[in-house]
Amino acid sequence: MSLAYISHPDCQLHDMGHHHPERSARLAAINDRLIATGLDMALHHYNAPLVERELLEAVHDPGYVASIFEACPGDGLIWVGGDTAMGRHTLQAALRAAGAAVMGVDLVMSGKAGKAFCGVRPPGHHAERGRAMGFCFFNNIAVAAHHALAEHGLERVAIADFDVHHCNGTEDIFAGDDRVLLCSTFQHPFYPHTGHDCKAANVVNVPLPAGADGAVFRQAVERHWLPRLEGFAPQLILVSAGFDGHQADYMAQLNLVDGDYAWVTRRLCEQADASAGGRIVSSLEGGYDLHALARSVEAHLKAFFGEI
């Protein structure tokens, strides 16, 4: 099985300020870990393209997309949300991040890769149809899902999101769309204080209390995600891969470890093997303790290879 790793130097240039937790050192830590472990040599590397604006406008309000293009400053920072800022390199990075997810879909659908991981930033799952928030500008995984449905003619796409924060943006875009099954675990009550009351039939939200460990997380996935995924039989699985539920991460209060991310990845691989020809595209979301993030991504990728 070939595993594509899609990224671009532009993603490291996006800068929301020296003390902002969503910083370029995240990608540097991942890259260093992959090189140190030798895993980098097993990956097929691709440069992320710029996403087409029409794809952004298919999942986001065109007026919102225009506002992001127009807001990008020539210098300094422009705050577009309480925690989300644009610098002069932000737009290019955001276009690359969404473009990486689209490329990942094209690679796995064409058979050029069995699976793909997008090592990109900014993340995307908080970006709603018409609002930037939570460090996110465009919803990378939602753009990928739309592309898979519209361009590749798929009828069933599943999105699995194990970030510690609820994927309010992805839910906002796909709630009620029976072509997409959205499965999410997240700490609750916690930012962005959504997901616990969604009634959409195609959304499987599993709130987890602060302090929940791997056993609680695995039980939630086994009880709530896996039966729905099996019944849905997705033709492609997309993953919003946030690693900020790690016990070492200072941004939240879950107690997951590297092995929990490997475990959930293997469960998703099993479903992909059963219904999707093994096809999975994963895109980086959260994860802010650099060492824990790098190890968790390593575990995630090794699980794709079946090593864990």
Active site residues: 126
Backbone dihedral region for residue 234 (phi beyond 0: left; psi -120 to 50: alpha; all else: beta): beta
